[in-house]
Amino acid sequence: MKSTTLRRSNITREKVAMMEALTRYNREHQNEDFYRQQSKNRELDVLLQNFGVKQQRTEKAPQVYFVIGLIAGVIVTLLITTFVSILINISTPKEDAVPKVKPAVEENAKFRFIPADTSKTPAVQTMTKEEYTVKEGDTLESIVIRFYGSFDMDKVNMIQEANKMANPNALSIGQKLIIPVNKG
């Protein structure tokens, strides 16, 4: 080392000489330690073979487990999708299995009307009229809901026509309204 470097680093020449001696010693004895370690390993291998003990396998790297898991996941996913697609194909009818309906064509291309089954139709409902007196806070909508159960604009129009009202919002307290009600 240069003397200027030594002055700047505040290291004495004795310390530098001691560090160089240590590095030389480490280089020389490093090979000896390596060979001692190798010979110890050989001796242990021979001893383990004599006692019939098998050497333990080294652990696999995490990358091996990742790749195995990835491959297993892909295989399981393919099996599941194949199974689901088979189930879908089984459950949906084929076009060949569904009979095709041919449109009905009359000889003269005339329409035939089939009369409705009168035995299944409900009885004819009769319209009755009830009278209602408007109270404070009543609106035509609330009256429709009270008598018919739900709001329907057709019912509002029926009440307007029955009472000959021009404006459905012009109700006054005490006004008498005629409410047409279906009785069955």
pLDDT of residue 69: 95
Dihedral angle over CA of 157, 163, 168, 173, nearest 10: -140
Confidence of residue 167 (pLDDT cuts 50, 70, 90): confident
Per-residue 3-state assignment (H helix, E strand, C coil) for the chain: CCHHHHHHHCCCHHHHHHHHHHHHHHHHHHHHHHHHHHHHHHHHHHHHHHHCCCCCCCCCCHHHHHHHHHHHHHHHHHHHHHHHHHHHHHHCCCCCCCCCCCCCCCCCCCCCCCCCCCCCCCCCCEEEEEEEECCCCCCHHHHHHHHHCCCCHHHHHHHHHHHCCCCCCCCCCCCEEEEEEEEC
Instruction: Give the domain 126-183 fold.
Output: Membrane-bound Lytic Murein Transglycosylase D; Chain A (3.10.350)
* Look-up of token digits 């009168």: 118
Q: How far apart (Å, rounded) are the C-alpha atoms in residues 131 and 159? A: 11
pLDDT of residue 67: 93
Write out pLDDT tens, residues 61-120: 888 899 999 999 999 999 999 999 998 888 776 665 555 555 555 555 565 666 666 665
pLDDT of residue 115: 65
Q: How far apart (Å, rounded) are the C-alpha atoms in residues 57 and 9? A: 50
Residue 141's contacts (CB-CB under 8 Å, 6 or more residues apart) are 151, 156
Asked whether residue 152 carries a pLDDT value surpassing 80, the answer given is yes
Q: If you average pLDDT over residues 22-37, what whole number do you get?
A: 70
Give the residue among 103, 147, 97 at the shortest CA–CA distance from 127: 147
Higher pLDDT, 42 or 72: 72
Domain extents for the chain?
3-46, 126-183
**What's the first-to-final CA gap in the chain, in angstroms?**
119
Question: pTM here?
Answer: 0.33
* Amino acid, res. 103: P
